[in-house]
Structure formats: structure tokens, C-alpha cells
Structure 1
Amino acid sequence: MATSQATDYSIDQWDELVKQGQRLTKSETSAQFQLGDIALTLVPVAPDGKRPPMKAYKLLANYANEIGQDPERFEEYRNVSAAWPKNERNKQVCWTVHSILAPHPDRFTLIDEPPVDRRTRERHWTCDAARRVRGWKTDVPETTEEKLRAVEDLLDDEQEAAEAVERVMRRPAVVRRVAEKQQVRETFNRAQTERIREAHSTARQRPEIRRLDEEAEVYTVLGLCQSFARGIGKALPGLHLAELSDDAKESIREGLERVTAAVEWTEHVLQTGQTDMDEALQRLIAGET
């Protein structure tokens, strides 16, 4: 025997229950619109769009309580009835769909042009279809975007989202598809680079690492000083600087001036920690002046 999506019912039984539900829905929709029309009779919509006075809301609330209705729900009935004049309502469409579409500027056209149901391939309005028109979250996601939104809502916790991504990335086909997206690769690379930078920064705060860094920096500067001093010490005894021409001596003095500037700048960095130099000093040390 053929069955419906509800496994305990045959197709005929299911169809009969659907028809019964549709009849009840139409009856409920009619009652909801009738209640809204009564609310409009009690407090008509102002032509200028102004809100009713407070005593009008009190009147609606008192009436709602008298008939056993929730005042806020009764006010909603009124607003929906106001948005849907009687000649614009579609008796084949439930009140909830009318309610969802009520603020839409093209509601009168939309209500008579139902979308195609993705499951039945028939044209009719559902609450989710109306929510989809409004750009709202649907109860049963169907499109890719709706499914992704639902997943994002479920995984609002960062830790859970990370674990979900990790599990999905165990699927080779998913990994290949993700790797094809340049934006994803760039985002991952930036995150990885930042993580490495943070790890290095954290490591450098450890005492043993700081000592190693300090020693390396000292050795670097001392090595440069030693190279210059050793070079001068070896070269000068064999030179005849006093016998040089004035122009030659001036050239050497310019070189010494650059060395002096470099030494003074090094002392400045030792005292202040500031390694920037002005343009003139930069040109001088580079020998561009």
C-alpha cells in the first residue's frame, strides 16, 4: 500500500487529513479576519496614518479581554485587516500568509500569484514561501542560502563552529572545493600568518628566548664594531696618510664623518630605543652627500 511522507498513513488517508486541515484553516482564517474587522469597527484606521489615542488601545484591550482574546493578538488582527481590504483578500490563502505579506507594497498582486512549491511543484502559498518573499528566515530551509543561514544560526558558538568546520574538512571533496576559492585561501593564509606572528610574539616574552634574542642583537652590533676596528687596525700601519694630498685627506674625513654619525646614531638608539633617522642623517650614512 502506498504511503505518504508520514509513514503511518496511506496516501488516501493523508489526503483526507490535509483536506480536513485546509477546511479548518479556512474557517480559522475567516474568524481571524472577522475579529480584525470588528477591531477596525471599534477603532478605524486614521486616514492620515496617525496612531490612535491611548484610550483607543485601552478600548481594544478591554474588548479582547471580554471575548477571551490576547490584546496584542487582537491588535494584530486589526492591523492585518486594515492592510487587506475585504475585496483584496484571497480565501484560498491562510491568514498567517496575509499577515506576513501585510507590509509588502505589492501584496495585492502577490497574493494572487502564488509561487511554485518545490516539493509538490504546484502553485500555492505557504508560510515559508511568504517569509521567503519578505527575506525572513524560513522554518524549513530549502534553498542553499536558507540552509547556510540555518547552519550559521545553529553554530553561533565559535568553538562549535570551528569543530563543525574541522569535521566537514575531513571530506576530501569538500577540501578540494574550498581550496578552489581564492578568498577562502587568502583568509586562511592571513589567519595562519597572524597565528604564527602571535606565536613568535608570545615566545619572545619567555625569559630564555629574550636572553637569546638579546645576545644575538649584542653580537650583531659588536661584530660590526669589531670588523671596523680590526680592519682599521690592520690597514693603518701600512698606509701613509700624512703624505696624502689635501683632496685625498678630505675624502677620508668624509668617510670618518659617516662613521661618527653612525656611532652617534647607535648611541641614540641605545638611549631611546628609537631606530628612525631623519633624511639628512640617512643620506650622510649612506654616503649620498
Structure 2
Amino acid sequence: MTQETDKVGSVSQSRYEQIIAELRDVVEQQTQGAFTIGDRALEIEPLRPRGVPVDTGSVRQSMLRLADDIGLQVSTVESYRQAASRWPKERRQPGVSFTIHRILARIEDEEERFAAIKTPPQDKARWCADDANRRVGWTVDNPQSTQEKITAIHQLASDEEVAATVTTDFLRRPQVTAKVSTENKARVVEEFTRDEAVATTAATNLLRRPEVAFKAMGDDTARFHVNHAQVERSRQARESFERTSPVAPTVRHIDRTVEFLDLVTACHTFVAAAGRAVPGLRDRTLGQDERTIVHENIARVRATLDWIETAVDTGKTDMDEELARILKGE
């Protein structure tokens, strides 16, 4: 080995081991001191058994006074008191820091707790804080597993502004978005587009992409809503024109003529398209799925023709629920 690899930081390996031995003695002294403070706090305010009424205000005042008199924060004194209550003197382990005792104190079952402190992880000679945190399900300082890293990120991003910034940064990384499933991507888009203004902008931009628009219009419900929106927009524009334009009465007769021509053109287009498509079925038998699809579309065509006849004969263009359901393909 080289001299550099023998070093830990700026000291040699042998000096590092001397420092560790010295500091373990210091930690042991601190552990004894922390337990002494916890024991005296318990003497002043013993923990009551469950179900026994406790004057929490009085306990708080006693702990505040004790903390002030010895120059510690009351939260520190309370932490020492709680840990001391979980570890009777005969169960405290020499050579194990107070921090480890305090963390493992979270184990509710006494026998399990007392056994755990004597059995560090299999690959370790002694407990470290991260291993103890893992044992009780707390967040670790140095996350190793994927789940620990995810938990750490969630905690760091608990602030809404931080979470928004982190999410934005992550979504800019192609290698990250590539690993997100299509289903989860769709959920993210839905969450981001709950706001109507955002949804409108996103939908407009997406439908400007020909391949997206083509696939979207393959969905009967989506196509129905788009067509309905176009009709509704035209109706609103017409109503606005008729309310505000001084020439509206003049063009009303022309409008009727245009609507008549549009309707005749639509019928002619359908007949012409059918005339081209149907002869192609000569000597060909469609599969069951194909026949089902064609019959469903024929039903929509029939319903539409009935609707046209009613509108032409009566002037009523209202669409009942059954017709709307059929046209949507439901």
C-alpha cells in the first residue's frame, strides 16, 4: 500500500485508531451523563402508567425548570428522560452510545428491544446510527437502498416550492422520463392539467402534432367531444353575431341556404364513399370482429339519418340521450 491509502483524512491509519479509542471513551462518558440526566428527570417527574391521568402542564413546567437550571434545551431533557425510562440500568449496554439506546428505545416490545441492542446487524461488529434507524424504520443519514433514497427525497421535498422545483428538474432529464411507464406519465399529465387554463394550452399544443391528433381522433368519445365543441363554438359565434351585427337579419336567409347545401353535401359524400367501399367487399367474408364494428357504425349512421329527418321535417335539432349515447359509441 502507498502512504496515501494508509491515511484517513489527514492522519495515518494508526493515529486514526488512537483517536477512535479516545473518542469511544468520551462517548461512553457522554452516554453515562445523558442517562444520569434522564434518570434525575424521571425522579422529578416519573412516567405514569398508561391510563393514569397526567397533568402535562405541570410536567412541562418541571422539565422547563430543570432544563433552564442545567443549561440544556427542554427537548434534550425530555429525550433523555424518555430514553432512560425505556432502558433500566441493568439493560443499558456498555460500549453502546446513548444515541443508539435512544433510537432503539422506539421498539415497543421490551424483550425485543433488550435483545436487539445486543445483536447488531450480521455484518457489523457494533451498532451505528443508520443501522439503528433502519431497525426502527426511521430515515437514515446515508441512504443505501432505492427505497431509502426515495424516502430521503420525499422528506427533502416536503416543502411545496422545493417539490415543484425538483419535479420540474427531474422531468427535464430524458433518462428519467424514459423509465416512467406510459400509465404513470398519463397520470402526471392529468395532475398537471387539472387547471383549465393549463389543460387548454396543453391540449392545443398536443393537437397541433399531426400524429397525436390522428390517434386522438381514433377514440370515439374524444372525437365526439371535439365535434361537439366545434358545433358549440359555432353556435356561440352565431348567437353573438345575431345579437350584435346590424346585418344579421339580411344574412339569415343566406345562412339557411348554406345549411341546406352543407346537409345535401354531407349526404352526397356519404353515398359516394359507400359506393366506392361496398363493391370492394365482393367475394370477401369479414371476420366476426370486423362485422361487429361495421354493424356498430351502421347503427350510428341510422340514428344520425333519423335525426336528420326529424330536423328537416320539424326543425327540432335536439338530441335525446339515446342518440347521444349511440353517436359516442357507448
TM bracket (short chain):
0.5 to 0.7
Alpha-carbon distance in structure 1 between the residues aligned to 2:325 and 2:27: 84
Cα shift readout 1:23-61 (whole Å, capped 9, x = no counterpart): 111110011101111112222222345364343443333
Matches within 5 A, 1:126-275: 126-154=128-156, 156-167=162-173, 169=174, 178=179, 184-189=181-186, 198-201=201-204, 214=234, 222-226=261-265, 260-263=309-312, 267-269=316-318
From 55, 65, 70, the equivalent of 2:58 is 55
Alpha-carbon distance in structure 1 between the residues aligned to 2:189 and 2:74: 56
The aligned counterpart of 1:246 is none
In structure 2, stretches of 5+ residues that fail to align are 209-229, 236-254, 269-304
| Deviation, structure 1 residue 277 | 1.3
Q: Identity percentage over the alignment?
A: 25
Residues 266 and 92 (structure 1 numbering): CA distance in 2 closer, same or farther, change over 3 Å? Answer: farther
The aligned counterpart of 2:301 is none
From 90, 94, 101, the equivalent of 2:93 is 90
SS state at 1:140 partner = coil
Alpha-carbon distance in structure 2 between the residues aligned to 1:127 and 1:282: 63
Tell me the C-alpha RMSD between the 2 structures: 4.2
From 60, 65, 70, the equivalent of 1:67 is 70
Count residues with an aligned counterpart.
232
Cα shift readout 1:213-268 (whole Å, capped 9, x = no counterpart): 849xx978742235669xxxxxxxxxxxxxxxxxxxxxxxxxx9875424368743
The aligned counterpart of 1:103 is 106
Residues 267 and 55 (structure 1 numbering): CA distance in 2 closer, same or farther, change over 3 Å? Answer: same
Residues 55 and 281 (structure 1 numbering): CA distance in 2 closer, same or farther, change over 3 Å? Answer: closer
| Deviation, structure 1 residue 82 | 0.8
Alpha-carbon distance in structure 2 between the residues aligned to 1:51 and 1:73: 24
Contact 1:128 1:138 in 2 (8 A): yes
SS state at 1:138 partner = coil
Contact 2:38 2:83 in 1 (8 A): yes
> Structure 1-normalised TM-score?
0.63
Residues 227 and 13 (structure 1 numbering): CA distance in 2 closer, same or farther, change over 3 Å? Answer: closer
Contact 1:3 1:9 in 2 (8 A): no
Q: Which amino acid aligns with 1:225?
A: V
SS state at 2:172 partner = helix
The aligned counterpart of 1:79 is 82
> Structure 2-normalised TM-score?
0.56
Alpha-carbon distance in structure 1 between the residues aligned to 2:259 and 2:6: 81
Alpha-carbon distance in structure 2 between the residues aligned to 1:70 and 1:125: 27
Alpha-carbon distance in structure 2 between the residues aligned to 1:265 and 1:112: 91
